[in-house]
Structure 1
Protein backbone atom coordinates (compact mmCIF):
# COMPACT_ATOMS: atom_id res chain seq x y z
CA UNK A 1 0.00 0.00 0.00
CA UNK A 2 2.76 2.47 0.89
CA UNK A 3 4.55 1.88 -2.43
CA UNK A 4 1.29 2.35 -4.36
CA UNK A 5 0.50 5.63 -2.60
CA UNK A 6 4.04 6.92 -3.15
CA UNK A 7 3.78 6.11 -6.86
CA UNK A 8 0.41 7.89 -7.14
CA UNK A 9 1.84 10.94 -5.33
CA UNK A 10 4.95 10.92 -7.56
CA UNK A 11 2.79 10.95 -10.69
CA UNK A 12 0.77 13.92 -9.41
CA UNK A 13 3.88 15.88 -8.35
CA UNK A 14 5.57 15.29 -11.71
CA UNK A 15 2.44 16.59 -13.47
CA UNK A 16 2.50 19.81 -11.41
CA UNK A 17 -0.38 18.74 -9.17
CA UNK A 18 -1.14 19.16 -5.47
CA UNK A 19 -1.28 16.35 -2.92
CA UNK A 20 -2.86 16.18 0.52
CA UNK A 21 -0.47 14.03 2.53
CA UNK A 22 0.63 13.00 6.03
CA UNK A 23 3.86 14.46 7.37
CA UNK A 24 5.92 14.23 10.54
CA UNK A 25 3.71 17.03 11.88
CA UNK A 26 0.19 17.87 10.63
CA UNK A 27 -1.32 16.87 7.28
CA UNK A 28 0.04 19.07 4.52
CA UNK A 29 -0.63 20.36 1.06
CA UNK A 30 2.34 19.58 -1.12
CA UNK A 31 3.66 20.17 -4.59
CA UNK A 32 6.95 20.41 -6.44
CA UNK A 33 8.80 23.23 -4.64
CA UNK A 34 10.57 24.13 -7.88
CA UNK A 35 7.34 24.57 -9.90
CA UNK A 36 5.91 28.09 -9.61
CA UNK A 37 2.54 27.19 -11.17
CA UNK A 38 2.07 24.25 -8.78
CA UNK A 39 2.85 26.48 -5.79
CA UNK A 40 0.28 28.99 -7.02
CA UNK A 41 -2.34 26.20 -7.07
CA UNK A 42 -1.81 25.69 -3.33
CA UNK A 43 -2.28 29.41 -2.71
CA UNK A 44 -5.54 29.26 -4.67
CA UNK A 45 -6.77 26.18 -2.77
CA UNK A 46 -6.00 27.78 0.61
CA UNK A 47 -7.22 31.26 -0.40
CA UNK A 48 -3.82 32.46 0.73
CA UNK A 49 -1.88 35.56 -0.28
CA UNK A 50 0.73 34.69 -2.89
CA UNK A 51 3.42 36.72 -1.10
CA UNK A 52 3.59 34.25 1.81
CA UNK A 53 6.53 31.86 1.74
CA UNK A 54 6.41 28.09 2.21
CA UNK A 55 8.20 25.45 4.19
CA UNK A 56 9.89 22.87 2.02
CA UNK A 57 10.66 19.31 2.98
CA UNK A 58 13.82 17.36 2.24
CA UNK A 59 14.52 13.70 2.94
CA UNK A 60 18.17 14.17 3.89
CA UNK A 61 20.32 17.02 5.24
CA UNK A 62 22.95 16.32 2.56
CA UNK A 63 20.59 18.07 0.09
CA UNK A 64 20.54 21.38 1.99
CA UNK A 65 23.39 22.83 -0.07
CA UNK A 66 21.33 22.37 -3.24
CA UNK A 67 18.72 24.85 -1.96
CA UNK A 68 20.65 27.19 0.37
CA UNK A 69 23.71 29.28 -0.51
CA UNK A 70 25.45 28.80 2.82
CA UNK A 71 24.63 26.13 5.40
CA UNK A 72 26.15 26.89 8.82
CA UNK A 73 27.73 23.79 10.37
CA UNK A 74 25.46 24.04 13.41
CA UNK A 75 22.46 23.30 11.16
CA UNK A 76 23.49 19.66 10.83
CA UNK A 77 23.70 19.27 14.62
CA UNK A 78 20.34 20.97 15.14
CA UNK A 79 18.69 18.63 12.63
CA UNK A 80 20.37 15.52 14.01
CA UNK A 81 19.59 16.17 17.66
CA UNK A 82 16.14 17.77 17.42
CA UNK A 83 13.68 15.67 19.40
CA UNK A 84 10.66 17.18 17.65
CA UNK A 85 10.17 18.18 14.01
CA UNK A 86 12.30 21.28 13.35
CA UNK A 87 11.99 23.75 10.51
CA UNK A 88 15.03 25.96 10.02
CA UNK A 89 14.80 29.25 8.14
CA UNK A 90 17.94 29.73 6.07
CA UNK A 91 19.12 32.83 4.20
CA UNK A 92 20.08 32.63 0.56
CA UNK A 93 17.50 30.26 -0.92
CA UNK A 94 18.30 28.95 -4.40
CA UNK A 95 16.98 26.53 -7.04
CA UNK A 96 13.38 26.90 -5.80
CA UNK A 97 10.25 28.46 -7.29
CA UNK A 98 10.37 32.16 -6.47
CA UNK A 99 6.92 32.00 -4.82
CA UNK A 100 8.26 29.48 -2.27
CA UNK A 101 10.98 31.87 -1.11
CA UNK A 102 10.31 34.72 1.36
CA UNK A 103 10.80 38.26 0.03
CA UNK A 104 14.05 38.54 2.05
CA UNK A 105 15.48 35.55 0.16
CA UNK A 106 15.07 33.07 3.00
CA UNK A 107 13.38 29.67 3.01
CA UNK A 108 12.13 27.36 5.75
CA UNK A 109 13.39 23.78 5.39
CA UNK A 110 12.52 20.70 7.41
CA UNK A 111 14.40 17.44 6.99
CA UNK A 112 11.64 14.91 7.63
CA UNK A 113 11.85 11.76 9.68
CA UNK A 114 8.64 10.26 8.37
CA UNK A 115 8.43 7.10 6.30
CA UNK A 116 6.02 8.31 3.61
CA UNK A 117 7.65 11.74 3.18
CA UNK A 118 11.20 10.43 3.12
CA UNK A 119 10.47 7.82 0.49
CA UNK A 120 8.39 10.21 -1.64
CA UNK A 121 11.02 12.98 -1.62
CA UNK A 122 13.85 10.51 -2.20
CA UNK A 123 12.10 9.12 -5.28
CA UNK A 124 10.95 12.56 -6.51
CA UNK A 125 14.53 13.90 -6.21
CA UNK A 126 13.25 17.41 -5.47
CA UNK A 127 11.88 19.13 -2.38
CA UNK A 128 8.14 19.38 -1.86
CA UNK A 129 6.19 22.14 -0.17
CA UNK A 130 4.46 21.65 3.12
CA UNK A 131 1.74 23.94 4.35
CA UNK A 132 -1.07 23.03 6.71
CA UNK A 133 -4.17 21.55 5.08
CA UNK A 134 -6.61 24.32 5.94
CA UNK A 135 -8.15 27.38 4.35
CA UNK A 136 -6.19 30.53 5.13
CA UNK A 137 -7.18 31.94 8.52
CA UNK A 138 -8.79 28.72 9.76
CA UNK A 139 -7.29 26.52 12.50
CA UNK A 140 -4.71 23.91 11.54
CA UNK A 141 -6.41 20.49 11.51
CA UNK A 142 -4.82 18.17 14.09
CA UNK A 143 -5.57 15.01 12.08
CA UNK A 144 -7.10 13.85 8.80
CA UNK A 145 -10.78 13.84 9.82
CA UNK A 146 -10.55 17.51 10.78
CA UNK A 147 -9.54 18.58 7.25
CA UNK A 148 -12.39 20.33 5.46
CA UNK A 149 -14.10 18.67 2.49
CA UNK A 150 -13.34 21.83 0.52
CA UNK A 151 -9.60 21.13 0.82
CA UNK A 152 -9.99 17.39 0.15
CA UNK A 153 -11.98 18.06 -3.03
CA UNK A 154 -9.62 20.75 -4.34
CA UNK A 155 -6.41 18.68 -4.42
CA UNK A 156 -5.33 16.29 -7.17
CA UNK A 157 -4.65 13.41 -4.76
CA UNK A 158 -5.59 12.58 -1.18
CA UNK A 159 -2.90 10.16 -0.03
CA UNK A 160 -4.41 7.03 1.51
CA UNK A 161 -1.88 6.53 4.29
CA UNK A 162 -2.20 7.24 8.05
CA UNK A 163 -5.71 8.69 7.61
CA UNK A 164 -6.91 6.67 10.61
CA UNK A 165 -4.39 8.17 13.07
CA UNK A 166 -6.10 10.38 15.65
CA UNK A 167 -3.18 11.73 17.63
CA UNK A 168 -3.11 15.50 17.82
CA UNK A 169 0.02 16.44 15.93
CA UNK A 170 1.45 19.92 16.19
CA UNK A 171 3.22 22.12 13.63
CA UNK A 172 7.02 22.04 13.75
CA UNK A 173 9.26 24.22 15.83
CA UNK A 174 10.60 27.03 13.62
CA UNK A 175 14.06 28.49 14.10
CA UNK A 176 15.79 31.21 12.09
CA UNK A 177 19.47 30.50 11.48
CA UNK A 178 21.86 33.23 10.33
CA UNK A 179 24.80 32.38 8.04
CA UNK A 180 27.16 32.91 11.00
CA UNK A 181 25.32 30.28 13.05
CA UNK A 182 23.31 32.57 15.37
CA UNK A 183 19.74 31.41 15.78
CA UNK A 184 16.44 32.52 17.25
CA UNK A 185 13.11 30.75 17.71
CA UNK A 186 10.13 31.87 15.65
CA UNK A 187 7.69 29.19 16.90
CA UNK A 188 8.29 26.68 19.69
Structure 2
Protein backbone atom coordinates (compact mmCIF):
# COMPACT_ATOMS: atom_id res chain seq x y z
CA UNK A 1 0.00 0.00 0.00
CA UNK A 2 1.04 3.62 -0.35
CA UNK A 3 1.16 5.99 2.60
CA UNK A 4 1.98 9.61 1.95
CA UNK A 5 4.73 9.46 -0.69
CA UNK A 6 6.11 6.12 0.50
CA UNK A 7 5.22 2.64 -0.69
CA UNK A 8 5.04 0.06 2.11
CA UNK A 9 4.25 -3.63 2.37
CA UNK A 10 1.26 -5.17 4.13
CA UNK A 11 0.45 -5.68 6.95
CA UNK A 12 2.82 -3.11 8.40
CA UNK A 13 6.32 -1.75 8.21
CA UNK A 14 9.41 -3.13 9.91
CA UNK A 15 11.02 -1.62 12.97
CA UNK A 16 14.05 -0.77 10.83
CA UNK A 17 11.89 1.14 8.33
CA UNK A 18 10.09 3.01 11.08
CA UNK A 19 13.37 3.86 12.82
CA UNK A 20 14.83 5.15 9.56
CA UNK A 21 11.76 7.35 9.11
CA UNK A 22 12.21 8.82 12.59
CA UNK A 23 15.89 9.47 11.90
CA UNK A 24 14.93 11.24 8.66
CA UNK A 25 12.61 13.60 10.55
CA UNK A 26 9.43 11.86 9.37
CA UNK A 27 6.41 10.68 11.36
CA UNK A 28 5.54 7.11 12.29
CA UNK A 29 2.69 5.34 14.02
CA UNK A 30 3.52 2.64 16.57
CA UNK A 31 1.72 0.59 19.22
CA UNK A 32 2.05 0.94 22.97
CA UNK A 33 0.36 -1.00 25.78
CA UNK A 34 -2.30 1.74 25.90
CA UNK A 35 -3.10 3.14 22.43
CA UNK A 36 -1.26 3.75 19.16
CA UNK A 37 1.26 6.58 19.30
CA UNK A 38 2.50 9.16 16.83
CA UNK A 39 6.28 9.12 16.75
CA UNK A 40 8.81 11.75 15.69
CA UNK A 41 12.36 12.47 16.76
CA UNK A 42 11.62 14.24 20.04
CA UNK A 43 14.93 16.13 19.90
CA UNK A 44 14.32 17.44 16.36
CA UNK A 45 12.23 20.61 16.68
CA UNK A 46 11.14 20.49 13.03
CA UNK A 47 9.97 16.89 13.38
CA UNK A 48 8.09 17.77 16.56
CA UNK A 49 6.40 20.64 14.70
CA UNK A 50 5.25 18.11 12.08
CA UNK A 51 3.75 15.96 14.82
CA UNK A 52 1.80 18.95 16.15
CA UNK A 53 0.60 19.74 12.62
CA UNK A 54 -0.49 16.15 11.93
CA UNK A 55 -2.54 16.12 15.14
CA UNK A 56 -3.86 19.66 14.75
CA UNK A 57 -2.67 20.14 18.32
CA UNK A 58 -2.26 23.51 19.97
CA UNK A 59 1.39 24.38 20.63
CA UNK A 60 0.50 25.21 24.23
CA UNK A 61 -0.13 21.52 24.93
CA UNK A 62 3.22 19.71 25.39
CA UNK A 63 4.10 16.28 24.03
CA UNK A 64 5.74 13.48 25.98
CA UNK A 65 8.89 11.65 24.93
CA UNK A 66 9.38 7.91 24.87
CA UNK A 67 12.63 6.16 25.70
CA UNK A 68 13.65 2.51 25.86
CA UNK A 69 14.52 2.40 29.57
CA UNK A 70 14.65 4.35 32.81
CA UNK A 71 18.42 4.55 32.36
CA UNK A 72 17.94 6.13 28.93
CA UNK A 73 15.55 8.67 30.40
CA UNK A 74 18.32 10.04 32.64
CA UNK A 75 20.15 11.25 29.53
CA UNK A 76 17.31 13.69 28.79
CA UNK A 77 15.89 14.71 32.17
CA UNK A 78 17.03 15.79 35.62
CA UNK A 79 15.44 13.47 38.17
CA UNK A 80 15.99 13.30 41.93
CA UNK A 81 16.29 10.02 43.85
CA UNK A 82 12.58 9.97 44.69
CA UNK A 83 11.57 10.37 41.04
CA UNK A 84 14.07 7.70 39.98
CA UNK A 85 12.66 5.30 42.57
CA UNK A 86 9.16 5.94 41.24
CA UNK A 87 10.26 5.37 37.66
CA UNK A 88 12.00 2.11 38.56
CA UNK A 89 8.83 0.96 40.34
CA UNK A 90 6.41 1.66 37.48
CA UNK A 91 8.37 1.69 34.22
CA UNK A 92 8.09 0.10 31.75
CA UNK A 93 4.37 0.54 32.12
CA UNK A 94 1.32 2.70 31.31
CA UNK A 95 2.60 5.71 33.25
CA UNK A 96 3.80 9.15 32.12
CA UNK A 97 6.29 10.60 34.59
CA UNK A 98 6.80 14.37 34.70
CA UNK A 99 10.47 15.32 35.08
CA UNK A 100 12.61 18.42 34.74
CA UNK A 101 13.82 18.48 31.14
CA UNK A 102 17.46 18.70 30.11
CA UNK A 103 18.54 21.77 28.16
CA UNK A 104 18.75 19.91 24.83
CA UNK A 105 15.05 18.97 24.89
CA UNK A 106 13.44 21.44 22.44
CA UNK A 107 11.08 24.13 23.65
CA UNK A 108 8.37 23.17 21.17
CA UNK A 109 8.05 19.66 22.69
CA UNK A 110 7.30 21.04 26.15
CA UNK A 111 5.45 24.23 25.18
CA UNK A 112 8.36 26.22 26.57
CA UNK A 113 7.97 24.72 30.04
CA UNK A 114 10.51 23.18 32.38
CA UNK A 115 9.06 19.68 32.59
CA UNK A 116 8.60 16.84 30.13
CA UNK A 117 6.51 13.70 30.33
CA UNK A 118 8.54 10.50 30.08
CA UNK A 119 7.12 7.22 28.76
CA UNK A 120 8.73 3.78 28.77
CA UNK A 121 5.91 1.65 27.32
CA UNK A 122 5.52 -1.97 28.28
CA UNK A 123 5.39 -2.95 24.60
CA UNK A 124 8.21 -4.65 22.73
CA UNK A 125 7.56 -2.95 19.37
CA UNK A 126 7.62 0.50 20.92
CA UNK A 127 10.84 -0.24 22.81
CA UNK A 128 12.42 -1.80 19.71
CA UNK A 129 11.56 1.34 17.74
CA UNK A 130 13.10 3.62 20.36
CA UNK A 131 16.26 1.53 20.47
CA UNK A 132 16.62 1.35 16.69
CA UNK A 133 15.94 5.06 16.22
CA UNK A 134 18.64 5.93 18.73
CA UNK A 135 16.74 8.99 19.94
CA UNK A 136 13.76 9.76 22.17
CA UNK A 137 10.52 9.50 20.20
CA UNK A 138 7.37 11.53 20.77
CA UNK A 139 4.74 9.65 22.73
CA UNK A 140 1.38 11.15 21.85
CA UNK A 141 -1.76 9.44 20.60
CA UNK A 142 -2.00 8.81 16.86
CA UNK A 143 -5.13 10.80 16.13
CA UNK A 144 -6.30 14.30 15.38
CA UNK A 145 -6.73 16.30 18.59
CA UNK A 146 -10.22 15.89 19.96
CA UNK A 147 -10.80 12.61 18.14
CA UNK A 148 -10.85 9.19 19.88
CA UNK A 149 -7.55 7.41 20.48
CA UNK A 150 -6.73 4.57 18.11
CA UNK A 151 -6.41 0.95 19.27
CA UNK A 152 -5.82 -0.70 15.88
CA UNK A 153 -4.13 0.49 12.65
CA UNK A 154 -7.32 -0.16 10.71
CA UNK A 155 -8.95 2.64 12.70
CA UNK A 156 -6.41 5.31 11.71
CA UNK A 157 -7.91 8.28 9.91
CA UNK A 158 -6.90 8.19 6.19
CA UNK A 159 -6.22 11.93 6.18
CA UNK A 160 -4.08 11.58 9.30
CA UNK A 161 -2.11 8.82 7.58
CA UNK A 162 -1.20 11.17 4.74
CA UNK A 163 1.26 12.83 7.12
CA UNK A 164 2.82 9.53 8.24
CA UNK A 165 5.68 7.65 6.58
CA UNK A 166 5.54 4.35 8.44
CA UNK A 167 3.13 2.28 10.54
CA UNK A 168 4.13 -0.50 12.95
CA UNK A 169 1.24 -2.93 13.31
CA UNK A 170 1.09 -4.53 16.75
CA UNK A 171 -2.54 -5.61 16.62
CA UNK A 172 -5.16 -4.27 19.00
CA UNK A 173 -4.00 -2.40 22.09
CA UNK A 174 -5.53 -2.18 25.57
CA UNK A 175 -6.96 1.32 25.19
CA UNK A 176 -6.54 2.54 28.77
CA UNK A 177 -4.88 5.95 29.15
CA UNK A 178 -1.56 6.22 30.92
CA UNK A 179 -1.59 7.81 34.35
CA UNK A 180 0.34 11.11 34.43
CA UNK A 181 2.30 11.64 37.63
CA UNK A 182 4.59 14.29 39.10
CA UNK A 183 6.55 12.34 41.72
CA UNK A 184 8.25 15.51 42.98
CA UNK A 185 4.94 16.96 44.18
CA UNK A 186 3.20 13.63 44.65
CA UNK A 187 0.42 14.75 42.29
CA UNK A 188 -1.52 12.48 39.96
CA UNK A 189 -2.18 14.88 37.10
CA UNK A 190 -4.36 12.45 35.11
CA UNK A 191 -5.79 9.19 36.40
CA UNK A 192 -5.51 6.18 34.13
CA UNK A 193 -3.98 2.73 34.30
CA UNK A 194 -2.48 1.66 37.66
CA UNK A 195 -3.80 4.81 39.37
CA UNK A 196 -4.60 2.94 42.58
CA UNK A 197 -1.16 1.35 42.85
CA UNK A 198 0.50 4.66 42.05
CA UNK A 199 -1.46 6.50 44.72
CA UNK A 200 -0.53 3.83 47.26
CA UNK A 201 3.17 4.14 46.34
CA UNK A 202 3.10 7.92 46.62
CA UNK A 203 1.38 7.72 50.02
CA UNK A 204 4.03 5.29 51.24
CA UNK A 205 6.99 7.31 50.00
TM-score if structure 2 supplies the norm length? Answer: 0.79
| Selected match of 2:157 from 148, 170, 174 | 148
- Measured in 1, the distance between the counterparts of 2:33 and 2:87 equals 14
1:169 to 149, 170, 175: 175
Q: Which runs of 5+ in 1 are unaligned?
A: none
Q: Distance in 2 between matches of 1:20 and 1:158?
A: 5
Kindly state the Cα deviation for residue 171 of structure 1 after the two structures are TM-superposed.
1.9
Choose the corresponding residue for 1:184, options 182, 187, 193. Answer: 187
Mapped partners of 1:154, 1:125: distance in 2: 22
Tell me the number of residue pairs that the alignment of Structure 1 and Structure 2 aligns: 179
Deviations along 1:68-99, one digit per CA (max 9) or x if unpaired, are 13x12222332333385111111244322221
When normalised by structure 1's length, the TM-score is 0.86
Task: Please give the alpha-carbon distance, in whole angstroms, between the structure 2 residues aligned to 1:145 and 1:168.
Answer: 15
Counterpart of 1:82 in structure 2 is: 90
Rounded Cα–Cα distance in structure 1 between residues aligned with 2:176 and 2:87: 18
**Residue in structure 2 matching 1:8, options 9, 17, 20:** 17
Question: How far does the alpha carbon of each residue in 1:89-136 deviate from its partner, in whole angstroms, 9 at most, with x for none?
Answer: 112443222211243311000122211111221222211001111111
Looking at structure 2, the residues matched to 153 and 64 of structure 1 have their Cα atoms a distance apart, in angstroms, of 31
Q: What are the superposed Cα offsets for residues 126-163 of structure 1, whole Å, 9 maximum, x if unpaired? A: 1100111111122222333332112122211122x21x
Residues 4-37 of structure 1, C-alpha deviation per residue, up to 9 Å, x if partnerless? 7111011101110000111122101100000011
